[in-house]
Amino acid sequence: MRHFLYLLLCFIFLSSCNLKLGNKEQKDKHLLVEAKRYDQLESRYLTTGDFSALQNMQTEYPQETRALIEDVLKLGDIDEIGINSRLLKFYQDTLLQRVIADIEEQYNDFSDINKELSFAFKRMQKLLPSTTIPKVYTQIGAFDQSIIVNRNTIGISLDKYLGSEYPLYKKFYTAAQRETMNRSYIVADCLHFYLMSLFPCLKEQSDNLIETGLHAAAVMWVTNTILNKEMFTTKKVQLIGSFMAKHPEMTIKELLQCKHYRTLL
């Protein structure tokens, strides 16, 4: 009898553990946002010249490859003869080869970023119900743009997020610039630039530096609010925060669509 009770308790315990593990695995499989690892195909082609990797880049990620060649690196038109060889040659630089290797090491596991992205965009939809969840992918650029937004797609240039103390950054960037060039800022930057694309500066604002700055601060404040973190802490962001604290009736969407920010402050 005791033996039977012991086996029964073991069965219940193991079943409970399996249920918890199963639920966790199920949650991980159903993330709201999961970045496509375009950078890994890039790495294969750019370090070994693997033609199958290039074919996959062109067939599975045609828009991403076009954006990389034409908009990020500005190597020419993607349909030009010899453009693939030009792309491969561009990355043979010793510095860029080191960057590719460091990205492979630092970003082999991207699961933490995917979870943060899912949380951020779920919160965005809750606070801004009409917005669309974007598709996200990772790439290897050349120290140029950190985040690229094209309609409902976000490209993350991992070469811009290798850490504020990354040795190569110290040759090209100031200490202030390097502060945000680390893993912890990826999600904040994605959300910030995506919101900027959804709620761009209006024509009447773009002609005025004060209005432009306040609009950018409003987007930063909304980013902080969605993330529930103080990622952006400029004086203008604090001004927007003070105003919103005094006027809880104003919605986030109304703030982002405001035409004259100076009248708020």
Question: Is 233 part of a structural domain of the chain?
Answer: yes
Question: Is 67 part of a structural domain of the chain?
Answer: yes
Mark whether 184 and 246 lie in a shared domain: no
Mark whether 235 and 112 lie in a shared domain: no
pLDDT band at 206 (very low <50, low <70, confident <90, very high): confident
Nearest to 260, CA basis, from 214, 198, 217, 195: 214
CB 252 within 8 A of CB 258: no
Q: What is the pLDDT of residue 29?
A: 56
Q: What is the mean pLDDT of residues 117-137?
A: 95
CB 91 within 8 A of CB 151: no
Number of domains in the chain: 2
pLDDT at 28 over 80: no
Question: Is 223 part of a structural domain of the chain?
Answer: yes
What integer best gives the mean pLDDT of the chain? 89
CB 241 within 8 A of CB 192: no
pTM: 0.86
Mark whether 115 and 243 lie in a shared domain: no
Q: What is the pLDDT of residue 2?
A: 47
Q: What is the pLDDT of residue 263?
A: 80
pLDDT at 14 over 50: no
Q: What is the pLDDT of residue 12?
A: 45
Mark whether 179 and 54 lie in a shared domain: yes
Mark whether 235 and 152 lie in a shared domain: no
Q: What is the mean pLDDT of residues 84-93?
A: 94
Q: What is the pLDDT of residue 30?
A: 67
pLDDT at 245 over 90: yes
Query: Which residue range forms the structural domain that includes residue 221?
Result: 199-263
Q: Which of 171, 195, 219 is the last residue of a domain?
A: 195
d(CA 3, CA 174): 69
